Amino acid sequence: MPRTARDVVFVDGVRTPFGKAGPKGIYHETRADDLVVKCIRELLRRNPDLEPARVDEVAVAATTQIGDQGLTLGRTAGILAGLPQSVPGYSIDRMCAGAMTAVTTVAGGIAFGAYDIAVAGGVEHMGRHPMGEGVDPNPRFVSEKLVDESALVMGMTAENIHDRFPQLTKERADRYGVRSQEKAAKAYADNKIQQDLVPIAVRRTNPETGETGWGLATVDEPMRPGTTLEALAGLKTPFRVHGRVTPGTSSGLNDGATASLIAAEDVARELGLPVKMRLVSYAFAGVEPELMGLGPIPSTQKALAKAGLSIDDIGLFELNEAYAVQVLSFLDHFGIDDDDPRVNQWGGAIAFGHPLASSGVRLMNQLARQFEEQPEVRYGITSMCVGFGMGGTVIWENPHWEGK
């Protein structure tokens, strides 16, 4: 019999505070899988009307799937979080768009009727597992000139975008980096971010005394409030001598996890679960790997075409700030001003951090909260560039829209 696709909704999303990767970071002595477990448990705590046995699938993304990020995270984290053993799970990888792909993949299953409710999220502990750890790129990529060597270094791909588009100057990128920090600081001051953060108990060892104690991670560690243009102008350019990409216009190396509840809309309403966003369409696209940051342009074009919408229909944008130049290239392509108030209203990854595979759900959390506050907006997008030359975009509809 022919099937009719069901409407899919974003029920809820949470994340850990994001930390700085490395020995001085808040999660240096915390396991990656435990970060995911905390997020899943918080989703269940916040939604007591959901019987854990009603969860049909757990999809958890990680870019480096070894050590405490290996062993089929969706399954193991689900069991550790207290889900019944009858609930299956799996791991997924699309580098930076891991959590986004976890969401879209389970959404496809829900629309088809294979699932009613699923958990989707991601984790990256870049302190324990640096980007590229254990990988062995095929030498043919370079020897046969399939890609330029710079494609393997994300910061170099950002420099390449500056090269390709001279109007994307270092000064513009610096201004964008400062604004991201300012908007994030204001969002924290206005209590916009904290409500979706899961406090994490962390063990820390004092490097001077060797004594071990416990603390609580409650805020994003990478933020640099008070950042100025003058400070950014003097930063080093680690990817190229006399380059344009600096730590002030990059997202940094971070640790953190996210998780979301995705459901069929009829099931969510039957169970009394919140409906925060309705999925309209999504798309992924490939670009030259050397110009990784351009990926969100064609993925957004594809998603808009599938939805029968134009860029002018989009009232809110949550764009992942892997690099400032990546966002600026997107804005230039679509004729959007650098200071457009629709874009990243509460700041982005330059301030909060970007633990690779987890970030897609952070974007969704922030968009969902903005939808609640802005019922005059009907459509919003979450979009991000993806390593080795890809982009991903999800278009969402605001269920609180008052223009019906």
3-state secondary structure of 2: coil
Q: What is the CA radius of gyration of the chain?
A: 20
Q: What is the mean pLDDT of the chain?
A: 95
Distance between CA atoms of residues 219 and 307, nearest Å: 36
Widest Cα–Cα separation across the chain: 69
Instruction: Measure the CA dihedral 272/106/64/386, to 10°.
Output: -110
| Cα within 13 Å of Cα(174), Cβ side | 17
The pair phi, psi for residue 135, each rounded to 5°, is -85, 160
User: What pLDDT, in 10s, does the model give residues 272-304?
Assistant: 999 999 999 999 999 999 999 999 999 999 999
How does DSSP assign 356-400, residue by residue? GGGHHHHHHHHHHHHHHH-TT--EEEEEEEETTTEEEEEEEE-TT
The residue ranges of DSSP E strands in 97-186, in sequence order, are: 117-125
Give the residue numbers annotated as catalytic, written as ranges.
Answer: 96, 354, 385
- Residue 3's pLDDT is 66
Q: pTM for this one?
A: 0.96
Of 366, 398, 369, give the one whose Cα is nearest residue 383: 366
Please, which residues have CB within 8 angstroms of residue 369's CB and are 6 or more apart in sequence? Answer: 192, 195, 196
Distance between CA atoms of residues 304 and 301, nearest Å: 5
- Residue 404's pLDDT is 61
Q: Compute the C-alpha angle 211/213/219, nearest 5°.
A: 130
Across 93-107, 184-198, 207-221, 320-334, least confident range: 207-221
- Residue 232's pLDDT is 95
User: What pLDDT, in 10s, does the model give residues 107-134?
Assistant: 999 999 999 999 999 999 999 999 888 8
Is the pLDDT confidence value at 201 over 60? yes
Other CB atoms within 10 A of residue 307 CB: 17
- Residue 391 contacts residue 385 (beta carbons within 8 Å): yes
How does DSSP assign 226-280, residue by residue? T--HHHHHT---TTSTT-S--GGGB---EEEEEEEEEEEHHHHHHTT----EEEE
User: What pLDDT, in 10s, does the model give residues 316-365?
Assistant: 999 999 999 999 999 999 999 999 999 999 999 999 999 999 999 999 99
**Range list of H helices, 25-117:** 32-46, 73-80, 98-112
- Residue 2's pLDDT is 55
Q: Which two tokens stand for residue 281?
A: 């369409």
What are the helix and strand counts (H, E) for the chain? 12, 12
Taking CA atoms, 338 is separated from 83, 177, 235, 333, in Å, by 44, 11, 22, 12
Distance between CA atoms of residues 380 and 378, nearest Å: 7
Other CB atoms within 10 A of residue 286 CB: 13
Q: Compute the C-alpha angle 254/26/348, nearest 5°.
A: 40
- For 292-301, b/e burial (b = at least 16 CB within 10 A) is bbbbbbbbbb
- Mean pLDDT across 365-393: 97
- Mean pLDDT across 15-34: 96
Which residues sit opposite 286 in a β-bridge? 390
Distance between CA atoms of residues 90 and 393, nearest Å: 22
- Residue 244's pLDDT is 96
- Residue 366's pLDDT is 98
- Mean pLDDT across 186-193: 98
